[in-house]
Amino acid sequence: MTFFDTFTPQEVARISAAGTAVKVPEGWSPIWEKTGADKAYILLSGQVSVRRGGEEIAQIGPGEIMGEAAIVNRSLRTASLVALTPLELIHFTAEAVRTLCEEMPKFDEALKAAAASRTN
């Protein structure tokens, strides 16, 4: 089950509209460990390596949210993300994430659940 599976098509459209579509080349790192929580992404296509201290701890595929834990927990990033393939993403500013949380309680719940699953 992916992050988007929780939502109706209308809710997915609303969430998507709050962000900006971006493409990232293979090898690029959209999020770096020990940096501020200024953005999050939803992965539309491609594969991402999650690395802590340079070691891969997980891989993330399409439909998953990335970077949410630091926003939810108001903390520095706990891992870096590296594109294993070219990526298509929806980029969200931290403010856009907070606005979605305020306007869509279901988004807020799903975001907190995703963050909790990664920090436990």
Rg (CA), the chain: 13
pLDDT > 70 in the chain, percent: 98
pLDDT > 90 in the chain, percent: 77
Cα separation, 101 vs 61, in Å, equals 23
Structure tokens at 28: 């690029």
The series of mean pLDDT values per 10 residues for the chain, 120 residues long, is 88 95 96 93 96 94 91 90 97 94 94 79
CB atoms within 10 A of CB 30: 20
- Residues 47-66 as b or e (16 or more Cβ within 10 Å = b): bbbbbeeeeeeeebeeebbb
pLDDT of residue 119: 60
For 26-57, the pLDDT digits (tens) are 999 999 999 998 999 999 999 999 999 999 99
CATH 2.60.120.10 for domain 3-119: yes
Domain ranges of the chain: 3-119
